[in-house]
Amino acid sequence: MGKARTVGIGMDYSATSKSALRWAVDNLTEEGDRIILLHVEQPRATKKQLFEDTGSPLIPLEEFNVSKQYGLTNDPEVHDILDTASRTKGAKVVAKVYWGDPRQKLCDAVQDLKLDSLVVGSRGLGLLKRVLLGSVSNYVVTNASCPVTVVKGPVVSSSTSKP
């Protein structure tokens, strides 16, 4: 067993971010690693302004269910994946919420939390949408100062077949 690492996982509770979480737990996380679930909210004029620059305090797994004040979603699937990683791999699981542009805040998290690795999901935007909307995963891969793994989410078909 080597030195415990700190693995950040971008989470917006979409299918692609859940795929990234599963991939990170199954393929990257080792005994004793620390998993930090990174959630970025859009800024709003609320008491969260106190943490606008630095993000929320680290929120332990045990408090995820009572952390709606920071914007964490009580998602049973995400909680189950993290709870299993904690029990089976001895991973220490915490979450941190940031407010602002997800691209910049994920890169800030790499520096602030001294992440050894970052895992994010990819929605698989086409070229035109990537140019118009920008790609969070592309920006983070280009600008983060640690290794970044981009996990493609489940394939969603928008066409329907007719008999």
6-152 CATH: 3.40.50.620
Tell me the pTM: 0.81
- Can you give the pLDDT at residue 129? 44
Would you say the C-alpha torsion 16, 34, 74, 137 has a positive or negative sign? negative
Domain boundaries, the chain: 6-152
Strand partners, 122: 152
pLDDT in tens, the chain (163 residues): 568 899 999 998 888 899 999 999 999 999 999 999 999 887 765 545 556 667 777 887 877 765 566 666 778 899 999 999 999 999 999 999 888 888 999 999 999 999 999 999 886 555 444 444 447 888 898 899 999 999 986 654 444 444 4
Task: Please check whether residue 33 is in contact with residue 125, taking contact to mean a CB–CB distance below 8 angstroms.
Answer: no
Residue-level pLDDT at 20: 93
